[in-house]
Every structure is written in structure tokens, then in C-alpha cells.
Amino acid sequence: MAKFTAIFTLVLFAGVAIIAWLSYRLAEDNARTLVLDQARLMMQGARSVRDYTTFQLKPLLTPEEQRNHTFLPQRVPAYAATEHFKYLREGLRDYSYKEASLNPTNPRDRAVDWEADIINAFRDKPEMHELTGERDASTGKSLFFARPMRVERECLECHSQPSVAPPAMIQIYGAGNGFGWQQGSVIAAQIVSVPMALPLTMARDSFRRQLIYIGMVFFASLLILNVALYFMIARPVARLSDMADKISLGEVGVAELPVRGNDEIARLARSFNRMRRSLGTAMRMLNDPETNPGSKP
């Protein structure tokens, strides 16, 4: 019984270890997918803010700007999306959003090295609509999700040449950046970044819960197997062993073992019962003077 328990424990422990490893990998992949899905949702939110600013807010502000000869950054879709994300980020502090550009009007939007690599990747592969990956940051590994931004006809109203741009915009940002854009070209990329610590933390939390459940199933399975092993194998075999001991000591009158089912243990019990009956018959024949004249009276 102890050997069977040890074997079952070893096999179950190996199975649990494999399942735990696979579960952690699955939890990590699920957490990463969840974070990317959230990044896509936030990206779509930024896109919606841009569209709202372009198609509803900008037409209302433009006449007023022309009369007052002022430039309101709030009418710029990139500015509106970035500022909107700053308020949204209060509940998602691990996320960051940037409309990184190689030639931006606002210096805060200028792409750093790894952001420039993303923009160039979109330029090299025009058919690519999104890009995800990991990068090394000062705080550790970071996960990013990016989409390209192409120059549209409306953008050329301010970004084709300094001479056609609003004078108030030139006064704020100068004439050295944000011009010379070509319609249809990839000029920037929307990038949502998340530290890898976030999906890893989510994966560990999920894995701990799964590990507790797996451990509970492991001990319950071990208990059930031990109970089943005792009633189906250990106890019947112990009865057979006890019967064999008594018969070997000459006690041929021991009661027959109860037989249930048609498994190997049941067939073995039937064989022992037949052997007991045969041995009892043989002993009676040896002790009967009529069938065995040489036996003592």
C-alpha cells in the first residue's frame, strides 16, 4: 500500500508540476493578451478623440481663430488625443501614450530612437497596420502597441509650408519643425506603452489562484486514489493473504472469501475459494478410511 501511494504521489506530483508550468505560461500569455487588448481599446479611444476634434470641434473653432488671429492647440487632433489620455491615465498609471513623430510641430511629440525605429518600420512596410513588441526601458522590460499615422489632406493646411500655416502657430512653435509633410506618407505613430511588470504581476496573481486549485485537486485525487486502492485492491489482497496463511497452517475450514464483480481481484478470489474447496476435499479423502485404507482409524 505504501509503495502504491508513493508511486501515485510521484506520478501526480510530476503531472502537477507540468500542469503548473503550462498554467503559468498560459496565464502569462493571457495577461499579455489582455494588456494588448486594453492598449487597443485606449488607442481606439485616442483615435475617436482625434476624429471628434477634426470633424466637429475644428470646424467650429476655425472661424473664431481667423477673426482673432489666434491659434488654439486644442483644435489640433494630436494635442487633443494626448491631453485626453493624460486624464484617462489617472486610473491607468502604468500606461503611456504618445503620438511620436519624426518631424513634429510640438517638440514634446518628437520621436526618440526606439520610437523612430517603429515609424521607419511602418514606412518600410506600408501594408503593416499595427506593431507590437517588447523593449528594454530604464524601469525594465516594456510592452508596446503601435499604429502608423499617415498625412491626410487636412494636415497640409498647417504642415505643408510655413507660408500657409497660421501665423499664430508659427509664433508659438516656430517655422523650423512640422513642415514639408507629404500626403499619404507615414509621419508619426500612435504608441501605447506598458511596463512588462504589469502583465507579469497579473500572470503571477492568476497563477497563484490556479496553483491553489491545482493543489486542492492534487490532494483530493491522492485521497480518492488511496481510498479506492484500499477497498479495491489492498483489503481483498490482505484477505487472500490471510486465507493463504491459515490454509498453510492446516486450517482448511476457513470461510470462503466474498466475491463481487469480474475483475482480476475477483477472479483471484474465486481461484482461492476453489483451491480451498479442493484442498478441503483432498484432506477429507486422505482422512477417510473407506477411500484411503492406509489412513489411521
Residues 125 and 271 in one domain: no
**Average pLDDT score over the chain:** 79
C-beta atoms surrounding 140 within 10 Å:
10
Residues 280 and 153 in one domain: no
Residue 17 lies in a domain: yes
pLDDT for 66-102, tens place per residue? 444 567 777 788 888 888 777 776 666 678 888 899 9
Residues 45 and 149 in one domain: yes
pLDDT for 190-235, tens place per residue? 999 888 777 778 788 888 888 888 888 888 887 888 788 777 777 7
Q: What is the DSSP string of 113-137?
A: HHHHHHHHHHHH-TT---EEEEEEE
Q: Which of 173, 205, 237 corresponds to the end of one domain?
A: 205
Q: Are 154 and 54 in contact (CB under 8 A)?
A: yes
Residues 168 and 78 in one domain: yes
Q: Is 27 exposed, middle or buried (0-12, 13-18, 19+ CB in 10 A)?
A: buried
Residue 223 lies in a domain: no
Q: Are 262 and 272 in contact (CB under 8 A)?
A: no
Please tell me the distance from the alpha carbon of residue 31 to that of residue 200, in angstroms, as a whole number: 7
Pick from 267, 269, 275, 249: nearest CA to 257? 269
Please tell me the distance from the alpha carbon of residue 115 to that of residue 193, in angstroms, as a whole number: 11
Q: Which three cell numbers stand for residue 101?
A: 513623430
Residues 154 and 272 in one domain: no
Residues 165 and 256 in one domain: no
Q: Which of 150, 180, 205 corresponds to the end of one domain?
A: 205
Question: Which contiguous run of DSSP H or E holds residue 269?
Answer: helix 264-287
Residue 227 lies in a domain: no
Q: Which domain holds residue 270?
A: 250-297
Residue 79 lies in a domain: yes
Residues 188 and 286 in one domain: no
Phi and psi for 97 in degrees, rounded to 5? -135, 140
Residue 293 lies in a domain: yes
Give the C-alpha distances (Å, rounded to integers) separating 68 from 73, 74, 166, 168, 245.
14, 15, 12, 10, 112
Q: How many domains does the chain have?
A: 2
pLDDT for 159-180, tens place per residue? 888 887 878 788 888 888 888 8
Residue 226 lies in a domain: no
Residue 233 lies in a domain: no
Q: Output 109-113 pairs: Cβ under 8 A, ≥24 positions apart.
A: 109/78, 109/82, 109/188, 111/188, 111/189
Pick from 17, 8, 24, 40: nearest CA to 192? 40
Residues 196 and 122 in one domain: yes
C-beta atoms surrounding 75 within 10 Å:
20
Residues 181 and 258 in one domain: no
pLDDT for 262-297, tens place per residue? 777 777 777 777 777 777 677 667 666 665 555 555
Residue 215 lies in a domain: no
Q: Which of 150, 175, 205 corresponds to the end of one domain?
A: 205
Residues 201 and 262 in one domain: no
The more confidently predicted of residues 188 and 261 is 188
pLDDT for 9-51, tens place per residue? 787 788 878 888 888 888 888 888 888 888 888 888 888 888 8
Residues 282 and 195 in one domain: no
Pick from 192, 194, 164: nearest CA to 178? 164
Pick from 222, 149, 235: nearest CA to 185? 149
Residues 58 and 194 in one domain: yes
